[in-house]
Amino acid sequence: MEIRKKVNEFKTKNKSGFIKSEIEEILKDYPGINVDKFNDALLGITCTKVDGELVIYHCDIDKALRCGIENRGLTQEEFD
Domain ranges of the chain: 3-71
| pLDDT for the residue 79 | 80
Q: Is the pLDDT of residue 9 over 80?
A: yes
Rounded (10°) CA dihedral 4, 58, 9, 7: 40
pTM flag (> 0.85): yes
Q: Is the pLDDT of residue 80 over 90?
A: no
How does the average pLDDT of the chain come out, rounded?
95
| Beta-bridge partner residues of 65 | none
Residue 27 C-beta-side C-alpha neighbours within 13 Å: 18
Alpha carbon distance 54, 51 (integer Å) = 8
Going by pLDDT thresholds of 50, 70 and 90, the confidence category of residue 1 is: low
Q: Rg for the chain (alpha carbons), in Å?
A: 12
**In a 3-state reduction of DSSP, which class is residue 42?**
coil
Q: CB count, 10 Å around CB of 23?
A: 20
Question: What is the mean pLDDT of the segment spanning 20-30?
Answer: 98
Q: Is the pLDDT of residue 11 over 70?
A: yes
Question: What is the mean pLDDT of the segment spanning 17-25?
Answer: 98
